[in-house]
Structure 1
């Protein structure tokens, strides 16, 4: 029997089952297509909604990154809020990348670029990162992912991460501080924390 795949696999390996999702925020309204084998199929994940409702507005210019974009609710919200910024959505899941591209086109958001990690090597000087990170890839893989992307923040840039308390939000914050970052808990809602991560002056 083949080994089961996950939404954080390049090929989810399950039959397509498209479902529409409405993203309804105070300042943004989007209709997106989700699919089986992609994170949060058929709904807007609660943690993602909390991030979009509590994190600061994105910078109006520069490069914004949605790390682990899924079908694109964070990336497309950023693009709607900052139409003059370049929004880059990165996901290892090929189906997720294609969905984000299609959803951006559907919603008329030409400032969104969806990429697999291998196509994103030249992304740097990032003004802000917004992410509901894939905690279930495991602590070591998550740390490697963050070590790959956080150093690409531009001077003065920040990352905004939403993490469940029961999935290690506090231990992740401690680890980030050990890596030389300033970490602030911006919000705590239900079982989720929203963290702001910035380089220290010496980092």
Structure 2
């Protein structure tokens, strides 16, 4: 089995599911340019394919955010870099519903990927609190949920064509930091946004 073929099937399946999240295996196979039998050679079921998409999304997410989180940048700069890099990825992360909490029956690797993401988001949220970027009384769980929801919303609105991909990260940051940020953070954001628009 060719890894290139498997990756191509995943990529084209993402595009198909971005158009119709309820697409059946026949429709997905057509969109991927393979027969049903070929698709089943790589994935035992639609659920197996969805798990592969979620794992690919987790790897793509890690490739983007891990170097940023490991950098010596202040937390607010990490936040800006993550948001401005994640929003353009759109379909590959959005269609997989990567940020949805996996069920108890979720494939263990998918669940581990989700839990790694959640731990990273909590660490960033804590750093934002520690550095005075956001109000200290806001619970971490709320900061993480707000940020994840806004990223998901940005992906949807860019994909639907309602918001330009260049504008979406800054709308996301403005919404998140206006609701949670300190006065100094908002002054900083205004300057940062002017430079990047």
Normalising by structure 2, report the TM-score.
0.32
Larger helix proportion of the pair: 2
Structure number, greater radius of gyration: 2
Larger RCO, structures 1/2 (Cα 8 Å, 6+ apart): 2
Normalising by structure 1, report the TM-score.
0.32
